[in-house]
Structure 1
């Protein structure tokens, strides 16, 4: 699934009034949904209660309209056990919300006529290629940003940790074998978003982070936002990452994949970007995106399946976002998760209003709970107990951290552990060394020995796992040839469940 030095202030909400964290007034309306008392609670009181219910240390909630800010408030603390409060200028990693912003940045290059959503990427980025020749010939930016290229879901995420250059990351994509046909289904791919953004940025003569900054963040006056993790550390007003149990956990660095998840931003900054989209691409009288490009980004480009609070069966991928219906209204949304942070942004274009929520806790459904309450207050009661449903969904988010367990009928090893220790190589990931440490096997991947470990699964198959829970595990089945010492390679194509990925084929390095 996050440095800009030339900062420019365009708007009043970078002023001390915002730094003091005030609640902005909504424009006068016959009935204000956010001021309405529902079940004895105002919207602000609901947020405070829900923060406590999910034991979230801190959060920021912003409601923005086509005319500007409606509601902006910080809740709780930046770091558990300390007094410093979250406010509208507290920096958060926004995780996969970055994909939505990346799509808008690429949209500016579309508007300039340098690239097109639907022209083959090879026409402006000939170095971008995929494993299937037909896909290489016809893949478009729409395919990459709507997750319909044929790349397996989540495959390639490990590459973000291996210190390859952007050019090398583009080159290695051609070795990732498809697990379904081009454009046949939706499969979430951080690697695919990177490839799309990188291709468009290079066509415009920029790096992917430069495109994010110069095309979107700076023009909107997002002065505390940047496309790399380093922005977090510009001052102390940043959200600390907290684990499920409330303990502090390390920040996750996904800079290599840029707009797939690396942007750092604040509630006040993201409000400016939301306002631009809700105003059909204009901001303070300036056109940032054409109305047509905003429409294309929001458009349904690939059915994903049931989604949204009401489980719309035609939930669809847009470009860096998704869309579903809530009652009769079409909703545009993107959520995100990295170590110790959850985010969501939800827009209702027909109503010209939207909400964004950032929370500094691992895999919490707090953002979805607040979003659902907002939708019911703004659009009307759903007729369902959405809060109970979302509370139940927390179990599914927690399950992401569960390590897959060996089958009940697991077979014993057929070789000594020492037979697996060797140096292997993959066209996708590069070198991988298996090290025998007494009763266990450790793994070092890439030129800088990124660590992992192997645990026995069954026979000559091992489970590959990482300290970072956001890097999916995989099953590696080792092969042996008679008369040769040690394993000759391994295959990672067996995927027992949705929480594991295919790491492809590795051969023994000669």
Structure 2
């Protein structure tokens, strides 16, 4: 079918600002975000009352290279991919090929969770709503940092070894692995690989012609934004794409790339009920947006938005903001941030795409754009206003006490670490080696090449200083056993606030052999 166009609604929303005032306001917010956070690139688009009313891009695909970002530039949308996976599943439900309540093992007979009862009871819907009993981000080290050598089969097999932290369906804890499983369920039910189904059931019917899934050629497709991080005050490309983009196992959870133009089409489909009837039925649209798992409401949400209700649907977060219904999601990968917000009762929404360290920019710009519609006339609620609130919240309530300086880092030596050297194995993550290298000791993960670096001694503790600067969560190493007994290894975050996808707490290594002879 040809690409579906956004349809204009006959009546304008109440208190709709004049176009010139709206344009000026959005430009001001865009400029504030770009300048305050020194972003390498930014793309923003707004749909109001069913029509695209604003698009703007700035910055470069790669900082310093001079190739400008435009409306067709591809960005990693990260976890905004999840709604595309659930949209695909909704299509398959409409086609009678699966049911939300089907057991997962109906499609994947070898699927196992750690608890045999959960294995039998978990349904397709449970894969989508973060209620599995797994801890926050459990098993994410099989997905990130990319690229790595884990496969979808590895991930499905690894789930049997991830111990739950709470009861099945007890409460919310965000996970990614079960979306990988959901993609494989879709493939079995649809009779084709996940990436082919996404192209045929989502991108093709909706006219999202630039979106990419599975393996593809960077140069053949062209116009691809690269992720950046800030180093010494400069935006530097990290984890740059090779000539061939691989079909990574994270695809259904967070691996799709799309352009600003594509994402505006995606927004328009969800806001336009007539068009949505063509693509998925009203019943499935309602199912996808129904609150399934309650989520905790932060004090910030209460203070900023007056939120009373917050929860997860099928690939979407559902809440109320200033008394209005909000359906939204964010996406986060190293050096790439996205935010998609819908206000369905106003048939309004927006998309933010960033190719740099953009968490603060995403939060403040997204909040200011939302308030333009939910709290009209509040000109003070801009990017700078919310940035000041974030800074105040991050500041310590009382002056920090003088503390002794932290012990300096020194390279661990093979002699000092002799009792702990060797090859270790974890049931789901696989093999790591802690072995001599030169005059020091090196940690290397077999299936995750970016997880390698020298072991450092800090006082009486040991940590790994990852060689790749984009791997930004260092782990403490804690050994047990020894002498003639079995040697074990646990990892823990040096920074308690590190990204949860570095799920070191889920690892339980046992030494299985000696280091290879040098």
Q: 2:508 aligns with which of 498, 505, 508?
A: 505
**Number of matched pairs:** 480
CA contact (8 A) 1:301 1:318 kept: yes
1:295 and 1:153 map into 2 onto residues whose CA distance is 27
CA contact (8 A) 2:41 2:57 kept: yes
Q: CA deviation at 1:96?
A: 1.4
CA contact (8 A) 1:417 1:436 kept: no
Q: State whether structure 2 residue 279 is matched by structure 1 residue 288.
A: yes
Q: CA deviation at 1:75?
A: 2.5
Corresponding residue for 2:435?
435
Q: CA deviation at 1:494?
A: 8.4
Q: 2:357 aligns with which of 336, 355, 362?
A: 362
Q: CA deviation at 1:294?
A: 1.5
Q: 2:238 aligns with which of 249, 253, 257?
A: 249
Q: 1:45 and 1:448, CA in 2 relative to 1: closer, same or farther beyond 3 A? A: closer
Q: CA deviation at 1:92?
A: 0.9
2:102 and 2:128 map into 1 onto residues whose CA distance is 13
5 Å-filtered alignment, 1:227-238, equals 227-228=213-214, 230=216, 232-238=218-224
CA contact (8 A) 1:67 1:275 kept: yes
5 Å-filtered alignment, 1:207-246, equals 207-228=193-214, 230=216, 232-244=218-230, 245-246=234-235
Per the alignment, in what secondary structure is the counterpart of residue 243 of structure 1? strand
CA contact (8 A) 1:423 1:434 kept: yes
1:164 and 1:489 map into 2 onto residues whose CA distance is 23
Q: CA deviation at 1:164?
A: 3.0
CA contact (8 A) 1:475 1:492 kept: yes
Q: CA deviation at 1:329?
A: 0.5
Q: 1:394 and 1:94, CA in 2 relative to 1: closer, same or farther beyond 3 A? A: farther
CA contact (8 A) 1:434 1:441 kept: yes
Corresponding residue for 1:3?
none
CA contact (8 A) 1:34 1:42 kept: no
1:239 and 1:363 map into 2 onto residues whose CA distance is 14
Corresponding residue for 1:181?
167
CA contact (8 A) 1:481 1:488 kept: yes
Q: CA deviation at 1:292?
A: 1.6
Root mean square deviation of aligned Cα: 3.7
Q: 1:334 aligns with which of 316, 329, 338?
A: 329
Q: State whether structure 2 residue 319 is matched by structure 1 residue 324.
A: yes
1:11 and 1:431 map into 2 onto residues whose CA distance is 49
Q: CA deviation at 1:130?
A: 0.8
Corresponding residue for 1:118?
101
Per the alignment, in what secondary structure is the counterpart of residue 249 of structure 2? helix
Q: CA deviation at 1:458?
A: 7.3
Q: 1:59 and 1:287, CA in 2 relative to 1: closer, same or farther beyond 3 A? A: same
1:195 and 1:59 map into 2 onto residues whose CA distance is 32
Q: Deviations over 1:5-41 (max 9, x none)?
A: xxx963689xxxxxxxxxx999884754373648x95
Q: State whether structure 2 residue 34 is matched by structure 1 residue 33.
A: no
Corresponding residue for 2:44?
61
Per the alignment, in what secondary structure is the counterpart of residue 109 of structure 2? coil
**Unpaired runs of 5+ in structure 2?**
395-403, 514-518
CA contact (8 A) 1:229 1:264 kept: no
Corresponding residue for 1:264?
257
Q: Deviations over 1:314-349 (max 9, x none)?
A: 321122121221111010111112222211000111
Q: State whether structure 2 residue 60 is matched by structure 1 residue 85.
A: no
Corresponding residue for 1:490?
489
CA contact (8 A) 2:365 2:382 kept: no
CA contact (8 A) 2:39 2:357 kept: no
Per the alignment, in what secondary structure is the counterpart of residue 483 of structure 2? coil
Q: 1:46 and 1:482, CA in 2 relative to 1: closer, same or farther beyond 3 A? A: closer
CA contact (8 A) 2:474 2:495 kept: no
Q: 1:172 aligns with which of 131, 136, 158?
A: 158
CA contact (8 A) 1:106 1:201 kept: no
Corresponding residue for 1:479?
480
2:238 and 2:392 map into 1 onto residues whose CA distance is 20
Q: Deviations over 1:179-229 (max 9, x none)?
A: 222122211112122122222322322222223222211221111111147
CA contact (8 A) 2:4 2:205 kept: no
Q: 1:386 and 1:213, CA in 2 relative to 1: closer, same or farther beyond 3 A? A: same
Per the alignment, in what secondary structure is the counterpart of residue 105 of structure 1? helix
Q: 1:224 and 1:278, CA in 2 relative to 1: closer, same or farther beyond 3 A? A: same
Q: Deviations over 1:483-509 (max 9, x none)?
A: 36xx62323478983525223212222
Q: CA deviation at 1:466?
A: 6.9
Q: Deviations over 1:431-473 (max 9, x none)?
A: 2211223564322223575542344467576458573646755
1:89 and 1:374 map into 2 onto residues whose CA distance is 22
Q: 2:142 aligns with which of 149, 153, 159?
A: 159
**Unpaired runs of 5+ in structure 1?**
1-7, 14-23, 398-405
1:449 and 1:241 map into 2 onto residues whose CA distance is 19
1:391 and 1:467 map into 2 onto residues whose CA distance is 32
2:86 and 2:121 map into 1 onto residues whose CA distance is 20
Q: CA deviation at 1:313?
A: 5.2
TM-score (normalised: structure 1): 0.82
Q: 1:110 and 1:473, CA in 2 relative to 1: closer, same or farther beyond 3 A? A: farther
Per the alignment, in what secondary structure is the counterpart of residue 174 of structure 1? helix
CA contact (8 A) 1:60 1:73 kept: yes
Corresponding residue for 1:418?
418
